[in-house]
Amino acid sequence: MKPVSSHPMKKAATPGIELVALASTAALKFILMDWLQWRSVFIAGACLFWLVYILLQNRSTNKLHLWGFKSSGFKQTLLFLAPIVLLCIVVSMLYASFRNKLYFTWHLLPILILYPLWGIIQQFLMLGIISQNLHTLFNKHVNRYVVILLVSTLFSLIHYPDYFLMLFSFLLEIVFISVYFKWKNLWAIGITHGWIATFILFYVSDRHLWLELFAGY
């Protein structure tokens, strides 16, 4: 099995610093989102922090292409993931219908636009930061399937204590990282992440994301 491939960089960021920043983000997720219920504060803060980091890193090392912020591979990735998106939407709506909870609200429309932005950031952290740094930390000799398993497990743990979401996220991330290794396009993966999560959370987990984000305003 070949090791995970990598592209040369002008100046590699220190893996330890990135992983500490990511671990801090995860810790703040459990504190701000799960404990204090400040979802909008955490999401806005995390997006702003990592967006600034992305822009600063790209300015000094031109890493956007390396991470997967590129146009190539977008169509292939989206077409590959489209059947999975459709399947998740149909199954989630059928599940809601079976429970007599199938209904539509206009709040879904802005969430379908906003959640992909959050999905892009999440997948940047999982794929661009963790998978790349695992590759670096293991000196480029780690089996690709080990990286897939580790990243998917970490993404699953972030969704604790919702056991359904933990299992679903684990399986979905296996698909995402496998596609990422093939075409390496974060745009398409983040968008599909957002669309799938919108329907799964609303129709399966009974979570009204719009109210969760803006009910206190």
Amino acid at 159: H
Each residue's pLDDT tens digit, 137-167: 776 667 788 889 999 999 999 999 899 999 9
Q: What is the pLDDT of residue 64?
A: 86
Q: How far apart are CA 200 and CA 28, in angstroms?
A: 24
* Domain ranges (residues) in the chain: 70-214
Please report the DSSP string for 23-87 in residue order.
HHHHHHIIIIIIIS--HHHHHHHHHHHHHHHHHHHHHHH--HHHHT-SSTTHHHHHHHHHHHHHH
Which has the higher per-residue pLDDT, 169 or 15? 169
Each residue's pLDDT tens digit, 98-144: 999 999 999 899 999 999 999 999 999 999 999 888 877 776 667 78
Give 59: exposed, middle or buried? Use CB within 10 Å, 0-12, 13-18, 19+: exposed
Q: Across all residues in the chain, what is the average pLDDT?
A: 87
Q: What is the pLDDT of residue 9?
A: 43
Residue 5 has pLDDT above 60, yes or no: no
pLDDT band at 37 (very low <50, low <70, confident <90, very high): confident
Identify the residue whose tokens are 């698909």.
175
Q: What is the pLDDT of residue 126?
A: 95
Q: What is the pLDDT of residue 209?
A: 86
126 φ, ψ to 5°?
-75, -45
Q: What is the pLDDT of residue 71?
A: 92
